[in-house]
Amino acid sequence: MDLEVENGGIEEDRVRVWGKSLPVPSVQEMVRNDSESVPERYIQENDNRPLNSALCSELSEIPVIDFSLLINGNEDELNKLDFACIEWGFFQIINHGVAEEVLHDMKAAVAAFFSLSLDEKKKYSMPENDLQGYGQAYVVSEEQKLDWGDLIFLMTSPLEARNMKYWPNSVPGFKEAVDEYSREVERVSEEIMANMSLLMGMDKNGLKRLHVVMKQSMRMNYYPPCSRPDLVLGVSSHSDGGSITILLQDDDITGLQIKHKGGWLPVKPIPNALVVNIGDAVEAWSNGIYKSIEHRAVTNANKARMSVATFVQADEGIEIGPVESMMQDRPRMYKNVKYLDYIKHVLGRKMDGKAHTNFLKLESE
């Protein structure tokens, strides 16, 4: 499908599609210089502080799906996937076939980058008109509260979408680790979406066709320890604008929390598992039956935490909106929206829960 652009050229819009973020200080460097202070701009409003937020009263944990059973057609595991997408929007997958060495090398590559000096990391800084590179995301004003973390964001697939000037060539083995992990995550994400397609009343390639091009990007996060973790957030509450997200996180530090039944539920890591969550695009395609879920990251006083969020996105030129099979027994709840317009809408705002998804819904008109 051709990309329609009212003002400016197609290439200019493709460059700008990932938005921009105002430059902010490195939290990692701030903590290196003064590990006790928490600047005012990082102190969250009272209702957003971790200890003031209602924790989920249930002792339950998010569903765990055996990937090897799922891809071999196990009906129980397929039903478990359906339940996870409807009731949770989050699940962990085990037995996914990604070698432990690949996971280790990816984590080591991220750790090696954030071990570089600030001057070296700045060689890969985000420019003013892009979100690729080292810096921070979703900073749209000088007044908003900031997250307690640094990141490097890279487009990883397709190959022509990569901008190698942001890839840290001063970290030995970085590109190789990302390449191998990217390929494995692509395999896993395609299998997950093939099974979701069946659940949504399509053939196995249904979601893949809707994407036209299945794009992939990675956000590599570093959350330094904080002397007052009760006052800050590593990442503010938000849902993801893509199709699905696959998260690789530290095995021994619980930092991810999801919104569930009005409270925040910590997601306890399972060693070598991957966390998967539904994005806004799948919410629109499923007519709201599968919902993207608010999630956030909290910090701790003792140890830095790292994670790698891999986002699967559709081509910017498509439209997203409910597929016919999801409107058989349910009225249309979502509009058809140009995905390019939606990405711009999401990236032009600070993280604010799911407020941005009103852009997709009929009742917001």
Instruction: State pLDDT tens for residues 107-154.
Output: 999 999 999 999 999 999 998 777 899 998 878 788 899 999 999 999
pLDDT bin (cut points 50, 70, 90) of residue 215 is very high
The residue among 294, 265, 297 whose CA lies nearest residue 58 is 265
Per-residue pLDDT at 128: 77
- Which DSSP category does 248 fall into? E
Contact 307, 269 (CB under 8 A): no
Per-residue pLDDT at 22: 82
Phi, psi of 222 (to 5 degrees): -130, 120
User: What does the alpha-carbon distance between residue 285 and residue 325 come to, in Å, rounded to a whole number?
Assistant: 10
User: What does the alpha-carbon distance between residue 81 and residue 91 come to, in Å, rounded to a whole number?
Assistant: 8
User: What does the alpha-carbon distance between residue 307 and residue 256 come to, in Å, rounded to a whole number?
Assistant: 10
Least reliable range by pLDDT among 17-21, 61-65, 106-110, 250-254: 17-21
pTM (predicted TM-score): 0.93
User: What does the alpha-carbon distance between residue 85 and residue 63 come to, in Å, rounded to a whole number?
Assistant: 10
Tell the residue number behind the tokens 């397709």, with chain if given. 158
User: Which CATH number is correct for 62-359, 3.40.50.300, 2.60.120.330, 3.40.109.10, 3.50.30.30?
Assistant: 2.60.120.330
pLDDT bin (cut points 50, 70, 90) of residue 163 is very high
Report whether pLDDT(256) > 90.
yes
User: What does the alpha-carbon distance between residue 315 and residue 208 come to, in Å, rounded to a whole number?
Assistant: 11
Q: Which run of H or of E encompasses 345?
A: helix 339-347
Contact 281, 339 (CB under 8 A): yes
Report whether pLDDT(6) > 60.
no
SS3 246: strand
CA–CA distances in Å: residue 168 to residues 109, 234, 262, 333, 339:
10, 23, 41, 44, 30
Contact 193, 187 (CB under 8 A): no
Q: What is the mean pLDDT of residues 188-207?
A: 98
- Give every CB contact of residue 223 below 8 A, 6+ residues apart in sequence: 148, 149, 234, 255, 297, 299, 304, 305, 306, 307
Per-residue pLDDT at 10: 36
% of the chain surpassing 70 pLDDT: 93
Respond yes or no on whether the N-terminal peptide bond of residue 158 is cis (omega within 30° of 0).
yes
Per-residue pLDDT at 49: 93
8-36 tens-digit pLDDT: 333 344 444 556 778 889 999 999 999 99
Per-residue pLDDT at 247: 98
CA–CA distances in Å: residue 284 to residues 89, 155, 288, 302:
13, 23, 6, 40
Report whether pLDDT(208) > 70.
yes
% of the chain surpassing 90 pLDDT: 81
CA–CA distances in Å: residue 53 to residues 48, 228, 351:
6, 15, 17
- Give every CB contact of residue 201 below 8 A, 6+ residues apart in sequence: 323, 325, 326, 328
Q: What is the mean pLDDT of residues 42-54?
A: 88
Report whether pLDDT(5) > 70.
no
User: What does the alpha-carbon distance between residue 75 and residue 79 come to, in Å, rounded to a whole number?
Assistant: 6
Per-residue pLDDT at 347: 81
User: What does the alpha-carbon distance between residue 19 and residue 134 come to, in Å, rounded to a whole number?
Assistant: 14
Q: At what angle do helices 75-83 and 174-199 cross, to 10 degrees?
A: 100
- Give every CB contact of residue 331 below 8 A, 6+ residues apart in sequence: none
Q: What is the mean pLDDT of residues 31-47?
A: 96
Mean pLDDT of the residues in the chain: 91
Least reliable range by pLDDT among 55-59, 218-222, 308-312, 323-327: 55-59
SS3 331: coil
User: What does the alpha-carbon distance between residue 304 and residue 232 come to, in Å, rounded to a whole number?
Assistant: 14
User: What does the alpha-carbon distance between residue 284 and residue 281 come to, in Å, rounded to a whole number?
Assistant: 5
pLDDT bin (cut points 50, 70, 90) of residue 59 is low
283-334 tens-digit pLDDT: 999 999 999 999 999 999 999 999 999 999 999 999 999 999 999 999 999 9
| Structural domain spans, the chain | 62-359
pLDDT bin (cut points 50, 70, 90) of residue 348 is confident
